[in-house]
Amino acid sequence: MQLHTGDDHLAHAAPATAAIASPHTAHHPPDPEYAISTRGLVKSYPGPDGTTTYAVRELDLDVRQGETFAFLGPNGAGKSTTIAMLCALARPTAGHATVAGADVRTQPHQVRQRVGMLFQQSALDPDLTAEQNLRIHARLYGIRRVHVRQRAAEVLEVAGLTDRRRSPVRTLSGGMRRRLEIARQLLHAPSLLFLDEPTTGLDPHARAQIWAHLHALRERQGTTLFVTTHHLEEAANCDRVAIIDRGRLVAQDTPRALKAAIGDDSVMLHTSDDTTAHRIVRRIAPPEHSVTVDPHGVCLRVPDGSSWIPRLCAALEGHSIAVRAASATPPTLDDVFFHHTGRSIHGARPDPAPATSTSADPAQATGGDR
């Protein structure tokens, strides 16, 4: 989903009043030492028939300075809405957030001055050259004319686009345009860059280039990167990952710790009769462990998966079922997502009626709750 630009999202129109009280915020205010810190952040919309639709519910996040932080979730999870609030483009319904040392409610202008925002929709003019696009942005951000040429040259160099600076944008590849968009957001030297699905629509090679570019940015300039994605392999390369599902934060840690916490390996068996094999494996496996079957075969999630393979093969062969392939793999972030939500991230679909409630209290919202 694209970021929203309706009146509801014009945070600068919001009065600079005291933030809405929340049980979270009363005890643990956001910590301005973090690049991003939120407590009890909520975004809701009036739904049909007097109901309330919660796009984001009671979000507590802490992102360290210089960290590459992935915000992972399926379509409709609430990622774009969260970014809109953190960039002070959407007004939170409740809760607090400080971003780059400024309060999103009471200091939205400072927030927008201090961060860069790469949205899903391109804001480049395809008929202008790369350099001309940068100059327009520099003027919008009030960068002094004497500095613009030098800043543009610097960010073009960082983006690896110096030799294409006079090319009209429409002649650049998808990956180059995305790098130019990032360069544009770096002109005013923000310490924190929000990137909403930065690799959407790019082929694997261009995606890898964007990530190499982002990692280099972090190394060279210490820029904090907050990246939304539904690509697991992208999240796995970040310092920390927050998983959001149906507006709610379900887990937050390093990829390694998230995987270690669930512990289970995936044991995959491809057999001559997967349906019967599924029944047999279910009988053998401890009841608390998941056993599923799909076109790829039978999958059992257990700790120390490789030790299960000989036993399962022997049991299946005892029922005259031939095992054609067997493997045990350590947990992936998809397993982590499955563990916390009961679904695969790729199978997860946005609810037709996301998190709808007639209650004013998001904790009591029923739709989409588990």
Ligand X SMILES: Nc1ncnc2c1ncn2[C@@H]1O[C@H](COP(=O)(O)OP(=O)(O)OP(=O)(O)O)[C@@H](O)[C@H]1O
Edge-to-edge strand order for the sheet containing 192-196?
A: 115-118, 192-196, 224-229, 68-72, 240-245, 248-253
CB nearer to ligand X: pick between 141 and 337: 337
Helix 145-158, helix 130-140: angle, nearest 10: 130
Query: Encoding tokens for residue 178?
Result: 């995305």
Q: Among 278, 311, 302, 280, which residue's Cα sits nearest to residue 292?
A: 278
| Closer of 76 and 190 to ligand X (Cβ) | 76
**Within a 13 Å sphere around the CA of 356, how many CA atoms are in the beta-carbon half?**
11
Stretch that binds ligand X, among 74-82, 152-160, 174-182, 205-213 (CB under 6 A): 74-82
Number of neighbouring beta carbons within 10 Å of residue 349:
10
What one-character-per-residue DSSP string does 52-121 give? EEEEEEEEEEEE-TT-EEEEE--TTSSHHHHHHHHTTSS--SEEEEEETTEETTT-HHHHHHHEEEE-SS
- Under the binding rule (CB under 6 A), the answer on residue 53 touching ligand X is yes
258 scored as a contact of ligand X (CB under 6 A):
no
Q: Which residue in 41, 77, 156, 180 binds ligand X (CB under 6 A)?
A: 77
Closest approach, Cβ 49 to ligand X, in A, equals 14
Q: How far apart are CA 86 and CA 104, in angstroms?
A: 7
Residue placing its CB nearer to ligand X in the complex, 6 or 142: 6
Residue 100 CB contacts under 8 Å (≥ 6 apart), including other chains: 35, 110, 111, 114, 115, 190, 191, 192
Region near ligand X per CB under 6 A, out of 17-25, 69-77, 251-259, 282-290: 69-77
Kindly tell me which of 73 and 175 has the beta carbon lying closer to ligand X: 73
If one asks whether residue 175 binds ligand X (CB under 6 A), the answer comes out as: no
Binding residues for ligand X restricted to 193-252, rule: CB under 6 A: 230
305 part of the interface to ligand X, by CB under 6 A: no
Query: Residue 86 Cβ, how far from ligand X at the closest point, in Å?
Result: 12
* Range in contact with ligand X (rule: CB under 6 A) among 72-80, 216-224, 269-277, 327-335: 72-80
Could you say which of 35, 41, 42, 55 contacts ligand X (CB under 6 A)?
A: 55
Would you count residue 101 as binding ligand X (CB under 6 A)? no
Nearest-angstrom CA–CA distance, 195 and 197: 6
Structure tokens at 74: 């399926």
Contact between 345 and ligand X (CB under 6 A)? no
Q: Which is nearer to ligand X, 245 or 274 (by Cβ)?
A: 245
343 contacts ligand X (rule: CB under 6 A) = no
Q: Which residue has the tokens 């310092």?
A: 239
Stretch that binds ligand X, among 79-87, 150-158, 173-181, 295-303 (CB under 6 A): 79-87
| Total Cβ atoms within 10 A of residue 187 | 21
- Which lies closer to ligand X via its Cβ, residue 116 or residue 354? 354
Q: Which H or E run includes 248? A: strand 248-253
Q: According to the binding rule CB under 6 A, does residue 76 interact with ligand X?
A: yes
Total chain residues near ligand X (CB under 6 A) = 16
**Rounded Cα gap, residues 219 and 197, in angstroms:** 21
Task: State the minimum distance, in angstroms, from the CB of residue 61 to ligand X.
Answer: 15
Q: Which residues bind ligand X (CB under 6 A)?
A: 1, 4, 45, 53, 55, 73, 75-81, 230, 350, 354
